Amino acid sequence: MDIIQLGNPQLRETSQPLSPDTLNSHSGFFQNLHDTMAHHNGVGIAAPQVGQSIRRLSSLPNPIAVIRMPLRWNQL
């Protein structure tokens, strides 16, 4: 997957939550997200960084984690 670069307006869109019953249907995407992070020697990547406006990230050491509330840059 290609990583969207800083300045792309997609990165400012509000991501949509995933319901627990749709998680299995996204398992291939979650694995691709993790593989993309590993390929780029990253320690974390969020779905919006690859053009998917959903609340999902992959990080080390936990390969699949869920963001339950939206974060904004000014809250970090």
Q: Is 63 exposed, middle or buried (0-12, 13-18, 19+ CB in 10 A)?
A: middle
CB atoms within 10 A of CB 19: 7
**What's residue 59's pLDDT?**
83
**What's residue 70's pLDDT?**
58
Q: Are 58 and 34 in contact (CB under 8 A)?
A: yes
What is the full per-residue pLDDT of the chain (76 aa) written as tens digits? 999 999 999 999 999 888 888 888 888 898 999 899 989 988 889 999 999 999 888 887 755 555 555 555 554 4
For residue 27, give both structure tokens. Answer: 């398992």
| Alpha-helix runs per DSSP H in the chain | 27-39
